[in-house]
Structure 1
């Protein structure tokens, strides 16, 4: 299976994106009930933000995940004393499916973290999942993330977590950083 990552194209990908972010399994994405126009507005805002980007992931050419990469110093995390030079923020949404493939989500997560570390200036990847999201907590741990502490954000209490290159390489899903 070949996993590729490319810029999100709203003109092409909007309907797919809206189906993913509003799916009941995507509740932690925070866009339940969002209309096409609302999803378009949010991702147009991201496209216009020089510190945030949305990327579409494909498996053998088929769209299967959404990755967002952002500068945490230009985000709701900006005031955290734990942030350091060389940090990059990441969000991941794997397309909901009724036919899960064992190991697929782990392979996607590994590919996304590899993509973040492809930039030699990146020292750590930071994430801020909802503390109630047990599935992403397990996936994050498998790829090397360590929870630093809970952080109150405008829309959730997040498990602020970091992953260094060494943590990633040594992780259960061990990648090349």
Structure 2
């Protein structure tokens, strides 16, 4: 049985899909992504394959967390983590019902596609908002990661303030369902092929 949870077709770039991370099978892939110099903001540059596998096994075992591999035309292309900000950001964020935290990473490549990262974050946001419980997405990227701040703003995020988190100063930002829909020019859409546990 397929473990695809969500699919979305981008007008220019074709089909995107999302499936759960399979820690044992995906360790080599994820280790390559997370230790790449372009992934420095993930703070896992020195991680061993064993540490990467352990991290994703812990995520899979946690009721309030989930990790997903994003596919582009059937090939692994990005990572998504969903988490509960009421737990992970309790010291810096007053969580409300319907809040969900998110991290995403586009796989490093030497042959980037124009508009690909924007299509990825659009897919991630539609994945999260496909859950009717979700009302707002919370992110906390490193304040130095200017490229992702621009990207976040483009899909509807609004910066709240700078906060101190382990390993970084972060720009705490949120995006409601309505803000994302307004930025995208339409309501969030996509298909949930299966329901599964949701970093």
TM over 0.5: yes
Q: Which residue of 1 aligns with 2:21?
A: 8
Residues 34 and 81 (structure 1 numbering): CA distance in 2 closer, same or farther, change over 3 Å?
closer
User: TM-score when scaled to structure 1?
Assistant: 0.95
CA distance in 2, matches of 1:34, 1:81: 28
Q: Which residue of 1 aligns with 2:196?
A: none
Query: Using CA pairs below 8 Å that are at least 6 residues apart, which structure has the higher relative contact order?
Result: 2
CA distance in 1, matches of 2:156, 2:94: 17
TM alignment of 1:27-176, pairs within 5 A: 27-75=40-88, 77-171=89-183, 173-174=184-185, 176=187
Residues 150 and 42 (structure 1 numbering): CA distance in 2 closer, same or farther, change over 3 Å?
same
Residues 13 and 81 (structure 1 numbering): CA distance in 2 closer, same or farther, change over 3 Å?
closer
| Structure 2: 5+ residue stretches without partners | 1-13, 189-199
Q: How far is the alpha carbon of 1:175 from its aligned partner?
A: 5.1
User: TM-score when scaled to structure 2?
Assistant: 0.85
Q: How far is the alpha carbon of 1:96 from its aligned partner?
A: 0.5
CA distance in 2, matches of 1:45, 1:175: 36
Q: Which residue of 1 aligns with 2:192?
A: none
Provide the secondary structure at the position in 2 that maps to 1:6. Answer: strand
Q: CA RMSD in A?
A: 1.1
CA distance in 2, matches of 1:14, 1:125: 27
Q: Which residue of 2 aligns with 1:26?
A: 39
| Structure 1: 5+ residue stretches without partners | none
Q: Is the 8 A contact 1:28 1:130 kept in 2?
A: yes
Q: How far is the alpha carbon of 1:125 from its aligned partner?
A: 0.3
Q: Is the 8 A contact 1:114 1:175 kept in 2?
A: no
Q: How far is the alpha carbon of 1:43 from its aligned partner?
A: 1.1
Deviating above 6 A after TM superposition, structure 1's stretches of 4 or more consecutive aligned residues are none
Q: Is the 8 A contact 1:2 1:59 kept in 2?
A: yes
